[in-house]
Structure 1
Amino acid sequence: MARFVQQMVIIFFLIIFLAALPIMITINPEENSIEWTFQYVPEAIGNFIIQLSQGSLGTYQVGYQERPIADDIGDNFMTSLTIMIVGVNAGLILSLIFGIFISRFRMTKVFNFVMNILSAIPDFILIVFAMLFAIKFYKWTGIRIISLRPDAGAMNTWFPTMLIGMAPALYMFKLISVKYYQTGGEDYIRTAVAKGMKLNYINFHHVFKNIEPFIHAELVKVISLAIGNLFIIEYILNVQGITKFIFQSFEVQAMAVGLFAMLLISFIVYVSVRILFYLFKRGFIHE
């Protein structure tokens, strides 16, 4: 318990420090050098705690208008949370399906080859290529699949959701494919095949059970990849998500609230993935 409290305190001060970076870094025009003004950090921490103790999240600047953060953060939080939950879980489901349960088909081998090529390309480049393809697709067919308007509804969220799921799917598919072929050469798998067990039974009760710990060990990294892409996607596609408080304001209060919200989103997504795996085992493996 004491270690958990210690970690939470460290995370709290680290987030406040990151949010205060814009006001800590100044440029000295006379010497053309960067100067650090750490004296603002205690004041920033104090103001943040005072605002919370008063039951307020503070305010942030939108153009020339100052708005309460609490009035806008709800919708933005739910937008980012929905994109993250659907994207990450869909990416993991696809990687499991193609990496384990239909990996014996020839189509999956072609899919594996394509995924290995895509996994070598940086996520930012893939996002840009996906946007260019969406624009070309609209020119070829007249069907709009992407919108940069923040009030476009589902059209402004489904494409970012697909892009968010791309990084987890690529990363986990590569991991699962490698572990699948490693596990397939184990003696207990050969024994199960020799006994005449069905392939689906072997995949569910032997292969998946032995690959699952590796998947759980990589969940934090997968969610970190998705969070990193969320910053890029919401900014480029003009999605009114939680990163709005980080990009549109250099105020400590707004940035700190945005970073804490991102941390909460990461935790909720992690829990949702664990629940998904629990339901999967209860429904298909009957554990």
Structure 2
Amino acid sequence: MLKVAGWSIMIPGILFFVFLFAMMPVLLQASPIDGTLQLSWEQGFQSLKDYFAGLGNGDSFQFYSGKNERSFWEWIGSYFVTSFYYVAAAGVAGTAIGLFVGIYFSLSEARITRSIVDFVGSLPDFVIVLIMQFAVVLVAREFDVVLFEVATLNSEEPAIALPLIAMIIIPANYMIRGVAMQMRLTLKEDYIGNAKARGLGKLYIVFYHALPNVLPFVKGDLHKLMGIIMGNLFIVEYLFNNNGVSMLIFTNAFVEQSGIYQYNIVVNGLLSFLALYLAGYAVIRAFLFLLGRVFLR
């Protein structure tokens, strides 16, 4: 009952935040006198009113891309699939790498490797992306070998591998540190000592006694992990010029010729982002459920 009440409060709150956040470029207007920022609530609520009025006749799902008027429903499918590919891959691969490398770190010293992981974890995501792109360009210049596409320049040669690696690194790094810490604490529990006293093998104890008790903590951290993935998605899609949901918002928020702000495409894009979040969360939960079934005693 409390969970239902919590969701009934949280969902309207999230939707309110989406509509208000998309309204910011309309709300914040520069004063024509001294250039200071002022709140224009009238224009903001007019945008909101126009959006809801356009739901009936479909105007809220029309937007301008360049000089042409486009339908949101015709475009969102391919953009959503592209973003979902990266979110799902980053979630599953990042979680898997984080779990197994975190277990390895909890069982061994591996100081140098751990220092590298900690250093990478201290870097902002856009810095990691730029370093990777620079490294590919450097290798191509020195050895005349192009390892990966550093950006999507056309639909025939999209950048796939490098954005995927960039999407996986940060959530994997977060999971590694969390799992390693939790695994160390779990291995100190009394029931682990009893398992050792019974002569059970080390790997059996880790995967069939300790890991099932670590997975609930991983599940409890999923929303934070998804927040990292979604924030990373904005950076990756923008820097690699990949046609995902965030790029749909970036490139069409303002009409190219007139500079008019398109409130409807931003709202629809952010709502699609929420759907992408839920889909990615469901994929990771399913992966953890299957993993838990594999190592269930």
TM-score of the two chains, using structure 1 as the length reference:
0.91
**Is 1:176 matched with 2:179?**
yes
1:244 corresponding residue in structure 2: 247
C-alpha contact (below 8 Å) 1:145/1:155 kept by paired residues? no
2:280 corresponding residue in structure 1: 269
C-alpha contact (below 8 Å) 1:86/1:161 kept by paired residues? yes
Matches within 5 A, 1:21-32: 21-32=24-35
1:143 corresponding residue in structure 2: 146
1:60 corresponding residue in structure 2: 63
1:195 corresponding residue in structure 2: 198
Q: Do the aligned partners of residues 208 and 134 (structure 1) sit closer, same or farther apart at CA in structure 2, a change above 3 Å counting?
A: same
Q: Secondary structure at the match of 1:210?
A: helix
Alpha-carbon distance, 1:260 to partner: 0.6
C-alpha contact (below 8 Å) 1:103/1:109 kept by paired residues? no
Output one character per residue of 1:250-276: Cα deviation in whole Å (capped at 9) or x when no partner. 311000111111111111111111100
Q: Do the aligned partners of residues 204 and 196 (structure 1) sit closer, same or farther apart at CA in structure 2, a change above 3 Å counting?
A: same
- Which of 188, 212, 215 is equivalent to 1:212? 215
Q: Secondary structure at the match of 2:41?
A: coil
What percent of counterpart residues are identical? 24
Q: Do the aligned partners of residues 150 and 59 (structure 1) sit closer, same or farther apart at CA in structure 2, a change above 3 Å counting?
A: farther
Alpha-carbon distance, 1:218 to partner: 1.2
For structure 2, the 5+ residue unaligned runs are 255-261
C-alpha contact (below 8 Å) 1:150/1:240 kept by paired residues? no
Q: Secondary structure at the match of 2:123?
A: coil
For 2:84 and 2:76, the matched residues in 1 are separated by: 12
Matches within 5 A, 1:121-132: 121-132=123-134
Q: Secondary structure at the match of 2:63?
A: strand
Q: Do the aligned partners of residues 276 and 56 (structure 1) sit closer, same or farther apart at CA in structure 2, a change above 3 Å counting?
A: farther
For 1:265 and 1:143, the matched residues in 2 are separated by: 32
For 2:82 and 2:186, the matched residues in 1 are separated by: 39
For 2:280 and 2:15, the matched residues in 1 are separated by: 20
C-alpha contact (below 8 Å) 1:69/1:254 kept by paired residues? yes
For structure 1, the 5+ residue unaligned runs are none
For 2:52 and 2:9, the matched residues in 1 are separated by: 18
Aligned residues: 285
After superposition, the CA RMSD in angstroms is 2.1
Output one character per residue of 1:39-91: Cα deviation in whole Å (capped at 9) or x when no partner. 12332223222333345652222222221111111101110011110012101
Runs of 4+ in 1 over 4 A off after TM superposition: 152-155
C-alpha contact (below 8 Å) 2:84/2:276 kept by paired residues? yes
For 2:8 and 2:50, the matched residues in 1 are separated by: 22
2:23 corresponding residue in structure 1: 20
Alpha-carbon distance, 1:204 to partner: 1.8
